[in-house]
Every structure is written in structure tokens, then in C-alpha cells.
Structure 1
């Protein structure tokens, strides 16, 4: 709690100097944001309170302070999010979305707010494999993933044989559900960005561990309808959060200090 209070005070102090920055002013405009609330620690529902919390929520709060807008959140499934934003049902979307060329054909991305590497999350007592090659060599082993996500494509093309219908991939509606399946022994591997994976391991060292080398890096960005006037505004805000140390403070809060499952 003490560390949290110090970080909160630091974030408040950073916000208090925002008016001195030469940033765009959205003049109190409402920005409707599609969110999934299923990708901790970026965004998830606190089991103790039922509140939606996470790194992205704090980042949006800091951006709203600096850019003078009012965030309005709408919960949307991952499967529907990119299409819904592209059709202008929402002003933007967030859920740890990897910046990719195929997605950029449908939506505009902000500048990256985070870079992460993909890692193999397994049960703590796993001893049948220690890297992607040894996992692929055992036909009895299963991967849990969400269809259409970066972990899904990494599983298909960097771990397995490039067949998107490979029966060794078990699909789940949310990332959290795939992790619970891993814990229960229904699958043997879940691919995750390193920051989220480290959070799970720190909170549950008796249940999970990370194995193997990173399987490539990914940049995360917010998404917007094509041609949205919000893109340059948010890019300016993201640059300000990086320059004043807010992004580093959020990384510390959510990837080092927050206790999952407590």
C-alpha cells in the first residue's frame, strides 16, 4: 500500500504540471472507448471490487488529464473490437492490441505505448519441454489461445506447423480463461507478452513459470477509425507520458508492485 501511495502521489504530481505542456486540448470532448477487460495487467476486472482496472485505464486517465477529454468505456469482445472500431461504433479501442499491418488496413493505430516480447507460460512443475522446439515435438501437448490474437499466430507459425486449424490449439474467449485452463491442466502452454507473464509468475510462483527464449517482440497501440482526428492528439499525449516518466511509473505499479489474485 505504501508503494502504491507513493506511485499515486507521483502520478498526481505529474498530472499537475500538464497544463504547462504544449498539448492539444479536446475541450472536454467525450471519447467512447471499446475495452475487453480480459488482459491483465493492462485491463481486467478486480475480483475483490468488480471494478475495471489496469495499466491502460491509468494511462487513459493520465491522457484525459493532459488532453482534456472525458473517457466513456464500453465493454466489447476481442473478436468484435477491431471491426466495431473500424465501423466507427467507438472512437477508439484498447486491450493490449499489437500493431500489425493487416490490422492497420482496417483501423488507424496510435504510436506504440509499450513494447513486449512473447514468452511461454507453463505450469510450475512442467518438465516435458523447455522451449518451442521440444513443445512442438510432443504431439500430446496443447496450447491455449484466443483466435486472431498475436499469441494465436505465434503459436501457429513460430511454435507449430503453420496450420491455423491445428487441433493442438485450444481456443478460449479470453486470455484469463486460457490461463485458468493451463492451471487446471487442460492445456500445457499459453503464450503471453513477457510483462503480463511475469506478473502471473510473481503472483503465483507455485503455479506458473516462464520457459524458453522470447518468441519475438510486439508493439502495443490504441486503435481508431481510419482517418480519426484523435490519432495525432493521442500520439502527442503518449509522447508526453513517456517524457515525464508516467509510463515508467505505470510499468512499476502494474508489472512490479501489483499483486494478482490477492
Structure 2
């Protein structure tokens, strides 16, 4: 869910290209409106800026650029994580974005875009934590509690890669949003939150030493946008994602949101 990830280490200060070098090759969607849903609870991918109250983040910038290049208008709406995949599957929204891991079981309900980001999961803990230092020592610390959202990749990593494979294990405390898990960590209600390095580093950077990441990566995941099965938007969005990768826009967004930006500053 923010240690710098390896793929970020070599980012250069690339300019943000307002128009793709390959724009002429991209489909023109004729100015149609596309309804995009997000949770707004996963900084710096998407969240409400505490200073301005605006919806901002990596995914907003990327989707706005995709819309510009494909000539469609974006209407943003919000829903909870636990409702999002089903709602997109049912056609309530045309696109979903909230750092969604591409998984085969989810492909049974929705179509995914090509991956726009690769992430690694880490353990987020309080800054003074010394009772455990990695997944193995946490598993042996029988009083330790993990905060997670049900049905998310971190939840399944906690169950099957750290604990005993029991999805009802009482050591996992469930919360509706990622932000709620981090708040529970800060107040001592849980001891670990599993998150991709992106979100975790964002929280560490703004915690004034209150939070830290420990251990090595617990797995790699690719993020993609979700769309209803058979959506005609999949191919155009994939083409736009490839264009953003090719001309350096993805690299520029990574630098802006993962290296330069600090929430609340």
C-alpha cells in the first residue's frame, strides 16, 4: 500500500509531458464522459489533500492525462473498497482505481488494464517497535495484531505468508479503509499494517518518526485499472498507458508523487 522501492531509485527529474509523443496513434473517444470511481484512501495514489480538500494523487494525474490523450471527460465518484470491484463488475462505474492488484480471481469479475505500476509489500509499524523485526519474528510474537482491509492483497499476505492460513485468525483485525488501519496502528490497537511500499513510504515520511517500515519485501504486485468485463475502454486505456510509459510521463509522475511530494507540506 511508501525504504524507496528499487524501481524508484533510478528516477530522473523528467519533465511532465502534457501531450504524448504518440498522441496521433491513440484512439479518439469523441469527448464522451467516463465515470471513474476511487476510494480516496490510499496516498499518494489517491487521497483528499488535507490542506486544500481536493482529490489528488498519482492515479488522478495519470487518469486525467489518459483522458486528455484519448479525448474523454472524467467524472470522478467515490465508493468503499469492499464495494468497488462488484460495482464496476455490475457496470455502475466504467473504471475503478485505488491501487488494485491484478489477480486472477478478480479477473473473473472485471477486466484489468495493463499494469501501470509494480509495487512491493512491506510491514509498517510504530517508530519505537523493537519486539519484532520481520515477518518471521512477528509470526512468533503471539500477541502481535495485524490491521487489514478484508479482501485486499495485504489481507491475504497476512493470512498465508505470515500467519497460519486461517482467514479467521483473531490476530487479524479488520477495518473498512486503509487509513483506518494506519490510525489503529498509531493508537496501538494493532501492531502491524501490511502495505505496498508506495503508501507505506508516504505515511512514514509524514509521521515525524512515528512510523517505520521493517523487514524485506513480502511479495511483488502489479497495479491496474479495473473495468467491466468486455469493456470497449480496455484497449484505448492500454494504448494510453503504453504511451505514458514510452514518453517518460510515468517516470515523471513517480518522481512527483514518490520522491518530491510530502503530504501536508
Q: Normalising to structure 1: TM-score of the pair? A: 0.93
Show CA shifts across 1:5-27 (max 9, x none).
xx99932xx22455753111111
1:123-134 matches, cutoff 5 A: 123-134=126-137
- Aligned residue for 1:231? 234
- Aligned residue for 2:260? 257
Aligned pair partner of 2:49 in 28, 38, 46: 46
Show CA shifts across 1:65-123 (max 9, x none).
11111010111111111001101111111100000000000000000000000000111
CA distance 1:195–1:9, shift in 2 (3 Å): closer
- Aligned residue for 1:4? none
Unaligned 5+ residue runs, structure 2? 1-11
- Aligned residue for 2:109? 106
- Aligned residue for 2:15? 10
**1:199 lines up with 2:214 in the alignment:** no
Q: Does the CA contact (< 8 Å) of 2:35 and 2:76 recur in 1? A: yes
- Aligned residue for 1:183? 186
Q: Does the CA contact (< 8 Å) of 2:45 and 2:98 recur in 1? A: yes
Q: CA deviation at 1:202?
A: 2.1
Q: CA deviation at 1:55?
A: 0.4
Alpha-carbon distance in structure 2 between the residues aligned to 1:192 and 1:186: 17
Aligned pair partner of 1:56 in 56, 59, 77: 59
Q: CA deviation at 1:183?
A: 1.1
**1:122 lines up with 2:125 in the alignment:** yes
Aligned pair partner of 1:151 in 151, 154, 177: 154
Q: Does the CA contact (< 8 Å) of 2:13 and 2:255 recur in 1? A: no
Give the alignment's Cα RMSD to 1 decimal. 1.6
Question: Tell me, what secondary structure is at the counterpart of 1:21?
Answer: helix
Q: Which has the higher contact order (CA 8 A, sep 6+)?
A: 2
Q: Does the CA contact (< 8 Å) of 1:199 and 1:256 recur in 2? A: no
Alpha-carbon distance in structure 2 between the residues aligned to 1:190 and 1:124: 13
Alpha-carbon distance in structure 1 between the residues aligned to 2:165 and 2:107: 22
